[in-house]
Each structure stands twice: as C-alpha cells, then as structure tokens.
C-alpha cells in the first residue's frame, strides 16, 4: 500500500514544513491511512422496533442493541427498555432468553446490580431459569462482584434443580477467579470439570493464560499453551492474543514473529487485535517503522486496520516525531477527510503534556470543541491539568462547573495537588467536601495530598 503525499491538503503540508522536525514520513503515511479508514462505510444502526411482539423478535432486537454498545452502556439501556415494554404487553411475556440477553448486556456494561434486578424480575414473573440464565448469574457474582460463595451457590443450585452446569458455566467461574488472582482455585475448578466429564475449551484456558501473563509467569503461560495443544484443545486467536500482548510487554518481539509465522501451521489466524497489540508494543519500543510495515502485512492477509489500530499508530507518530506535528494533523483532519474522534484527541493531548506544551493542549481542546466532538472525562482531566500548570486555576474551576464535565477522583486530585502546594488548606478542604458531596470517593492519593497540605500549612 502506498501513502502518496500529493493527495494531502497543502495546508497540512505547510504545517509540516514549518514544524521543528522535517522528517515526517510517518505523519504522511498515517494521514493517508486515516483518510482511507474514514472513507469506509459505517455499519447501519439496529432497528428501533421489532416487526412483531413475539419474544423471538424482541430478543433479536435486544441482542442487536446489546452488541451495538454505546457510551455508558446505552445499548444495554435500550435492551432494558425493550424488556420493560414487552413486560407491559398483554399476552406476550418475555421468555428466559429475553431476560438472559438483557441481564448479560447489563453485566457487560459493568452494572451488576441492574443485572441482578432483571434476573429477580424473571423469577417474579414465574419464568424458570435455564442453564444460560444461571451462567449469567454466575458471571455477575464471580466476574463483576467477586462474590464467589454466591457463585458456587448458584452452581450447586443448578445441580440440585436439574439445570446441569455446562462448560460455559465452569469457564465463567474460572474467568472470575482468575481476574481476582485466585489462579490456584481456578485450577481446582478445572480439575472438577474434568472429573465430571466436561472437556475444557479455549474459553476455559484463556483466563488462566491471562492470569499467568498478568503476573509475569511467562513460563507457566507457555507450558499451558503446550498443554492445550497436546490435549487436543486448539488455542483460539484470543488465547494467542493474550500471549502476544504479554510478550510485547517484555519486548520479546522475536517470539511474537515466530508465533505469527507458525500461525497457519498451528491452526489459528491472527486478527486485528493481534496486530494492534504487536504494533502497540513496537511503538512503545520506538520501532514505529516496523509498526507501519505490519499495516502492509495486515492488508495482505485480508485484514483492515480499525480505529484502535489507527490510534496506536497515532500514538507512535507522537513518539517518533513530535506531538506538536500530530496536533496539526488533528487540526487538518477535516481537510484530510479523516473522521477524527475523542480518543485521537486525548492521545495527542497526553503526548503534548509529556512535552510540557500546556498551551497547545488548551488550543487543541478549543479546536475539538469547535468541531463538535464530545469530550469525555479523560479529555477534561488532561485540560484541567494543563490549565493548572499554566497557572489558570480560575479557568480550571470554571471548567469543573461545566454541565458537560463529569469529574472523577483524578480531576479532584489534580486540583487538590495544585492548591496544596500553595498551602491553601481552606480551598483544599472545600474541594474535598465538594468531591464527597458529588459521590466521588477519595482514594489514598487524595488523603496523602490533604495531609501534605496540612503539614505545609502548619509550617
């Protein structure tokens, strides 16, 4: 694939030529790739209403909304709305599949309380839970709430009431245990599966692989992979992706290359996540040239770079060139035909902070606002930090009061830090009081900053 600079607008090229660095080949290649990605057709949104009030049609639409996702679990909210609508229809009550779909969507959106409420409503409506519904309940307790006694209780209830746990049920329990760092207990559940005659699959082993890699136990991770292969369980692409990401973190790029070379022979196909993880590791290691070469390899294998891939390359461009140049890339996004998003802006703003270009962050935030791109908490936290560094605390506080701004503990810690260094204890306590009043729990950093301020004030 070629990235011809002649297709780029003159304004952008002029910005590059006036920058502090003139080696911008990666910027040019990235700009062309961004335009190509933006030119691709977008997937149509799911329909708003089912064609008939039959539970099957409702469940299909619920699933479509759940898969579409959205900020703050909007897809789960739409699925829940359909469930409530269906429960209000005479003669068309939701079946177990409808309740299960909505509960799973809410659990995936990190709303375990709402998921439990849906399953409670299922019991209240007299709908008997099946294995799928019970598995979702196991997932809520094990993966979301880490209440393992309750998760085990559901499994025991299933066995006592003729609802046999299956491989998915046990794999879900193993996933929750691994995410809590209880790998030994997860291996015990794996042994129980084998004793009861269930054959583990890649979904069973992958959480264990992830737990090994997360704790740096690479030898056990590789041994687990060999165990899967020798036992006849073909590792999935997701399993290999976990290993690839871990190898990239320790910069074992030769081992990653070997895995990719052997992929066809071992029966797995690298996907966009595989290449994105590899690109991310290479960019962080300063090898952006090989990252762009992987784009060519992706395309030759019939894979298309996605927005995650694009943002990884943008971060690499910032590292290899300057965030100042990437800033101009964002400002010229309209002329480039690139559908820039909030993640792209946040990436460049963060790199501008690394270069201590606080004013450039504020200017980029203004450009973002003019283009009508919705900011998120990460955006505001970066801008708040930059305003504090510029000594514009009044503007930082005005931004805090903005209706569009949802503050986090990081926001308040930033403001408290800049107030505490001046010894203004009264303002620090006002911020702490406001923070608690908004339902934001202080963390260890918050209390440490407040204590430092008190010590400075006493001196």
Q: In this structure, are 28 and 148 located in the same domain?
A: no
Residue 284 lies in a domain: yes
Q: In this structure, are 323 and 283 located in the same domain?
A: no
Q: Which residue has the tokens 């395309």?
A: 299
Tens of pLDDT, residues 119-145: 999 999 999 999 999 999 999 999 999
What's the pLDDT score for residue 6? 41
Residue 115 neighbours by CB under 8 Å, 6+ apart: 103, 104, 106, 107, 136, 140, 144
Last residue of a domain, one of 241, 273, 308: 308
Residue 399 clears pLDDT 80, i.e. is over it: yes
Residue 35 lies in a domain: yes
Tens of pLDDT, residues 170-193: 999 999 999 999 999 999 999 999
Residue count of the chain: 459
Hey, what are 359's tokens?
A: 């004013």
Q: 75-109 burial string, b = 16+ CB within 10 Å, else e?
A: bbbbbbebbeebeeeeeeebbbbbbbbbbbbbbbb
Sign, CA torsion 439/445/447/453: negative
Residue 9 clears pLDDT 70, i.e. is over it: no
Residue 131 lies in a domain: yes
Q: In this structure, are 326 and 278 located in the same domain?
A: no
Query: Comparing 85-99, 137-151, 245-259, 291-305, which segment has the lowest mean pLDDT?
Result: 85-99
The proportion of the chain whose per-residue pLDDT surpasses 90, expressed as a percent, equals 47
Q: Determine the 3-state secondary structure of 267 from DSSP.
A: coil
Tens of pLDDT, residues 58-85: 888 888 888 876 555 788 898 999 899 8
Mean pLDDT highest for which of 52-56, 238-242, 412-416, 448-452? 238-242
Q: Under a CB-based contact definition with an 8 Å cutoff, are residues 280 and 248 in contact?
A: yes
Give the pLDDT band (50/70/90) at residue 457.
low
**Count of domains observed in the chain:** 2
Distance CA 51, CA 292 (A): 46
Distance CA 411, CA 400 (A): 8
Give the pLDDT band (50/70/90) at residue 15.
low
What's the pLDDT score for residue 47? 62
Residue 296 lies in a domain: yes
What's the pLDDT score for residue 68? 76
Cα dist from 290 to 58, 172, 261, 313, whole Å: 47, 37, 16, 11
Last residue of a domain, one of 288, 308, 328: 308
- How big is the chain by its Cα radius of gyration, in Å? 26
Residue 49 lies in a domain: no
Q: Under a CB-based contact definition with an 8 Å cutoff, are residues 208 and 190 in contact?
A: yes
Q: In this structure, are 289 and 344 located in the same domain?
A: no
What's the pLDDT score for residue 90? 56
Residue 32 lies in a domain: yes
* DSSP for residue 6: G
Residue 242 clears pLDDT 90, i.e. is over it: yes
Residue 284 neighbours by CB under 8 Å, 6+ apart: 319
Residue 50 lies in a domain: no
Q: In this structure, are 397 and 414 located in the same domain?
A: yes
Q: In this structure, are 21 and 134 located in the same domain?
A: no
What's the pLDDT score for residue 423? 64
CATH of the domain at 255: 1.25.40.10
Residue 335 clears pLDDT 80, i.e. is over it: no
Mean pLDDT of 423-441: 84
Q: In this structure, are 147 and 252 located in the same domain?
A: yes
pTM: 0.78
Mean pLDDT of 405-432: 84
What's the pLDDT score for residue 48? 62
Residue 300 neighbours by CB under 8 Å, 6+ apart: none
Domain ranges, residue 403: 5-42+314-458
Q: In this structure, are 329 and 370 located in the same domain?
A: yes
Tens of pLDDT, residues 215-231: 999 999 999 999 999 99
Last residue of a domain, one of 287, 308, 329: 308
Q: Determine the 3-state secondary structure of 223 from DSSP.
A: helix
Tens of pLDDT, residues 357-391: 999 999 999 988 888 888 888 999 999 999 999 98
Closest to 396 (Cα-Cα) out of 426, 427, 368: 427
Distance CA 22, CA 222 (A): 44
Mean pLDDT of 296-319: 86
First CA to last CA across the chain, in angstroms?
64
Q: In this structure, are 419 and 284 located in the same domain?
A: no
Distance CA 434, CA 193 (A): 51
Q: Under a CB-based contact definition with an 8 Å cutoff, are residues 111 and 80 in contact?
A: no
**Mean pLDDT for the chain?**
86
Give the pLDDT band (50/70/90) at residue 304.
confident
Closest to 162 (Cα-Cα) out of 140, 122, 130: 130
Q: How remote is the C-alpha of 393 from its chain's centroid? A: 31
Give the pLDDT band (50/70/90) at residue 5.
very low
Distance CA 389, CA 371 (A): 25
Closest to 151 (Cα-Cα) out of 132, 170, 130, 168: 170
Q: 387-407 burial string, b = 16+ CB within 10 Å, else e?
A: bbbeebbeebeebbeeeebeb
Closest to 138 (Cα-Cα) out of 121, 122, 155, 123: 155
Q: In this structure, are 336 and 272 located in the same domain?
A: no
Q: In this structure, are 390 and 404 located in the same domain?
A: yes
Tens of pLDDT, residues 255-269: 999 999 999 888 899
Q: In this structure, are 91 and 167 located in the same domain?
A: yes
Residue 64 lies in a domain: yes
Mean pLDDT of 96-102: 95
Residue 301 clears pLDDT 50, i.e. is over it: yes
Give the pLDDT band (50/70/90) at residue 91.
low
């Amino acid at each position: 694939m070629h990235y011809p600079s002649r297709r780029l607008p003159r304004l952008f090229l002029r910005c590059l030529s006036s920058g502090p660095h003139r080696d911008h080949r990666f910027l040019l290649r990235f700009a062309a790739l961004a335009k190509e990605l933006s030119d691709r057709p977008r997937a149509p949104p799911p329909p708003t209403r089912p064609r008939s009030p039959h539970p099957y049609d409702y469940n299909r639409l619920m699933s479509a909304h759940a898969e579409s996702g959205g900020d703050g679990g909007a897809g789960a909210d739409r699925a829940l709305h359909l469930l409530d609508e269906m429960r209000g229809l005479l003669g068309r009550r939701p079946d177990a599949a409808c309740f299960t779909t909505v509960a799973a969507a809410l659990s995936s959106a990190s709303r375990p309380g709402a998921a439990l409420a849906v399953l409670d409503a299922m019991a209240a409506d007299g709908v008997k839970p099946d294995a799928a519904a019970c598995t979702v309940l196991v997932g809520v307790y094990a993966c979301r709430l880490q209440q393992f006694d309750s998760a085990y209780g559901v499994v025991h209830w299933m066995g006592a009431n003729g609802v046999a746990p299956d491989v998915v049920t046990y794999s879900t329990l193993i996933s929750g245990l691994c995410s809590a760092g209880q790998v030994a207990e997860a291996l015990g559940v794996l042994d129980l599966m084998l004793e009861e005659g269930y054959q583990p699959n890649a979904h069973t082993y992958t959480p264990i692989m992830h737990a090994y890699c997360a704790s740096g136990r690479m030898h056990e991770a590789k041994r687990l992979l060999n165990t899967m292969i020798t036992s006849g369980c073909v590792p999935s692409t997701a399993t290999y992706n976990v290993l690839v990401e871990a190898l990239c973190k320790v910069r074992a790029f030769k081992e990653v290359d070997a895995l990719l070379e052997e992929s066809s022979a071992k029966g797995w196909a690298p996907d966009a996540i595989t290449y994105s993880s590899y690109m991310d590791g290479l960019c962080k290691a300063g090898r952006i040239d090989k990252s762009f070469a992987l784009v060519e390899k992706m395309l030759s294998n019939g894979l298309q770079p996605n927005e995650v891939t694009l943002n990884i390359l943008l971060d690499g461009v910032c590292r290899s060139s300057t965030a100042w140049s990437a800033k101009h890339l964002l400002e010229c996004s309209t002329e480039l035909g690139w559908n820039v998003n909030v993640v792209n802006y946040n990436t460049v703003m963060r790199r501008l902070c690394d270069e201590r270009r606080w004013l450039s962050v504020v200017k980029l935030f203004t450009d973002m606002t003019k283009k009508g791109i919705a900011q998120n908490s990460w955006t505001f936290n970066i801008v708040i930090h930059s305003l504090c560094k510029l000594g514009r605390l009044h503007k930082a506080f005005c931004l805090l009061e903005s209706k569009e701004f949802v503050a986090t503990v990081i926001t308040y810690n930033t403001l408290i830090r800049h107030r505490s260094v001046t010894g203004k204890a009264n303002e620090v306590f006002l911020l702490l009081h406001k923070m608690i009043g908004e339902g934001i729990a202080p963390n260890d950093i918050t209390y440490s900053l407040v204590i430092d301020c008190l010590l400075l004030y006493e001196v």
